[in-house]
Structure 1
């Protein structure tokens, strides 16, 4: 009976630790996405896994984000970013990893097209919608001719990393643009295990 009680307490402690860890990751990930939604790029960069800055400096990353989100031709804004789920943790060589799945809605407004003739605007918006449809699926893209904008709904994932070298959880996107970097930072077995659905 004593052994059973010890095992039960141990199991409950493990489940409690896991639950607290998931809640902690979810909280930090949501803060990261709130920073992205509000275009607080310093906040976003504070949450990025620091090894990313070995490829491009923090200053370069910030300048790139500012340029991407406020071009004279097109503005990009996040309507929402919400964490949908967090996986179990996996530990490898003292570093803890988890995958964070999230939903984003992003609005692209084509500023440079607004003063063009109606037919040209319609042709441009139809072309951009078809392009986004092929990438994200027609059900995930809506167009608004009046504002010359598209809203893209997408489900994606990123990796949460708790490295003893750094404070708190840090994040790195799991997308095609970051693939090469992700492959050097997150071990293949960890990536495969975390992304299993």
Structure 2
């Protein structure tokens, strides 16, 4: 009986440490991915993206799109922080391992092209943009700074971590409305349902 208890405890510790290690590994990789995003290191971001995304849009095209978005003379976009809050259990389907990553992101949008306009115009523009962002992210998650002509958006979001034998290490796939068709075509429905609804 004593040996059985010892064996069960050993197994439990092994399972716990394994669960911990996949969580730690994904969190570490996700944080590197987010750090690249914050630093606008787009090659680094794309290295961590699940490569099947490039079947839909070539890597060079995605990089050009990111550079264009982040270097617009009209609007400056900055990620202030991206922090992993939780990693789900793993689920394996056809030798591919999936996990959901829950994170909090803070983003700042500064409307550079509006900064030298008359005060009334600036106020009207910022109010309009805040209203648009409020409807998308919730008013409680959007703060405006009239002096800087900027909005700070706080959002909780999810993405999928995918370990596919075809590629090295964990890769990531954003999970938002804009990516829905792509996510649905890559991540099986059973995986999406189970991992995203995990308590």
Using the size of structure 2 for normalisation, the TM-score is 0.96
Matching of residue 96 in structure 1 with residue 97 in structure 2: yes
In structure 1, the residue matched to 2:38 is 37
Counterparts of 1:97 and 1:157, CA distance in 2: 13
**More deviation in 126-135 or 9-18?**
9-18
Considering only aligned residues, what root-mean-square deviation do their CA atoms show, in Å? 0.9
Under a length normalisation based on structure 1, what TM-score does the superposition of the two structures give? 0.97
* Cα distance in 2, alignment partners of residues 102 and 11 from structure 1: 28
Pairwise mapping of residues 48-127 of structure 1 onto structure 2 (< 5 A)? 48-127=49-128
Alignment partners' CA distance in 2, 1:6 and 1:107:
52
C-alpha distance in 2, partners of 1:84/1:19? 14
Q: Would you say how many aligned residue pairs link Structure 1 and Structure 2?
A: 197
1:85-116 Cα offsets, whole Å, 9 max, x none, are 10111111111100000001100011111111
Cα distance in structure 2, aligned partners of 1:32 and 1:99: 15
- In 1: Cα distance, 2:54 partner to 2:156 partner: 26
Instruction: Describe the SS at the equivalent of 2:156.
Output: strand
Which SS does the other structure have where 1:171 is aligned? strand
Unmatched 5+ residue regions in structure 2? none
Q: Which runs of 5+ in 1 are unaligned?
A: none
- Paired with 2:143 and 2:41, the residues of 1 have a C-alpha distance of 26
Name the residue aligned to 1:152: 153
CA distance in 1, matches of 2:12, 2:104: 32
Find the aligned partners of 1:60 and 1:194 in 2 and give their Cα distance: 31
